[in-house]
Structure 1
Amino acid sequence: MMARRSLLGAVALTPLAACAAVPPIRPAVELKLVTFNIWHDQGDWAARRPLLVAALKAQDADVIALQEVLQDSAVGLENQAAMLARELGGYRVAFVSTDPEGAPRRYGNALLTRLPVLTEASTRLQPLDDYRTALRLRVTVQGRPVNVVVTHLAWQDDAGSVRALQIASLLDWLPNDGAPLVILGDFNAAQDDSGLSVLIGPRFFSALPRGSVATTLNPARGHPNRVIDHIFAERSAFAPVAAHLFGDTPTNGEYPSDHFGVAATLRLI
């Protein structure tokens, strides 16, 4: 009887031992991102400001990339990114401008995040006479480092070669250490623009698939239908989960900006 009990006990333990050998499934790690050209203080800023705050708050993003951010002490306008970080609550703000530190008027790009920040860096992009910048935050997403970059490229229709130079300048500047990379911003070009070819190739994908929306420029402001606001993520590090426009519905006839925002959820792989 003792031998029989021992045999039954060994059989009963076998499934448990097999289960213990299976590695645990790592929970999905998702990153919520937003890019929005906020049109500095143009139009009716007093009316747009609460709409902008509400639109961004509704996205509940981990990282917010902003373009056309202004501060101007001459007209009593505080840094718009700092204002939004305060109104949204819980966000750290980083701002870059070609205007000198301490100048009464500074115009540029910003990143807001509620994730832990490891490092912050910025650069001016080539060609220097176009006054374009890139701003990077290295954040941690559940312990994993991720580089998040905001930029705003040349606007002229025939500036494809300039945009290509700006993107090459940006990529050369970034650390080459294998940390996942996302580049957000107003690229002033659709995905078929020659200047963006390096961001549409095997290394990156667009979180907003080509043809999924008609425009990121607000037609109510007289703009043509063009998708020029993008979130590009590395294929080796991310999988797309969802993406959509926001700020594309008026409130009492007013919109948050002359652009629509782009929001995306990416899964780290």
Structure 2
Amino acid sequence: MTNGHTSMDIDDDDELLYEVDVELRRTPQSTYLFQYPIRPHYRSYDETTFASARIKEKHSLVEMDLLIDSQSTNYYAARGKQFADSTNNENGRQYFNSDRMDKQTIASTISSNGDHYFVCLFDNQNRRLVLCPLKSIIQLRPQFDYIDTPSSTSGGANAKDSNFIDDEAYGSDGEQSGSESEENKPEPIASLVTMKFAKKESDYHKKKRLQSYSYYRQMRDDERWQDLVCIMNPHSFEAQRIREEFLAKDNQSISS
């Protein structure tokens, strides 16, 4: 190790302190570097509780659900309930786990190839440096899907849903009267149907289609999520166990 000096700057009389073996370890699982660009360094996620996490490994997409303490004195209960009411009713699915906004999702927005980067651990006991290549470098930022829902941007629960039935046109039992429905029943209208036959795609256009962003987005959306287990505290027992397994000498490695 030269500490940033080139070979021309090294004095031949410098004392060599020690030498270490360097091992390149290729693990069966992919290794990623997570970055949090807008998270202050003094507020790390080490002690944070995550409810769930998932990944689309082929496209390096990651989502992590961070639990929010809705009982905290700093929590705005009225607004949290408003977000939950508008979001949980959207598409009939339960976005939050309670009647309040109780989680925040952080997701990858930018990922870059990590082929030229490595994560390393120094094995002090055996005096060796173990390197593992990165698959990707992922940047995670908060997502605001609970704000982007139509119900929260169009008036919330007071907005009239287009799927609701107009009570003025229907009786109290939800059915139209027979005479009114017969009178207002539209006459069938014949329509002209035009049939189109798809042309055979040339190799050039196929190549362009496969390189397009719309095709990439379709493939990204079609990939299924895989569940992950979050171990955020580097000092936890589970984190220590993973490090020991990584440094185990019986793992297959390439010495260099």
TM tier relative to shorter chain: under 0.3
TM-score, structure 1 length as denominator? 0.19
- Report which of the two structures shows the higher radius of gyration computed on alpha carbons: 2
Q: TM-score, normalised by structure 2?
A: 0.20
Q: Relative CO higher for 1 or 2, CA cutoff 8 Å, sep ≥ 6?
A: 2
Higher percent of residues as strand: 1
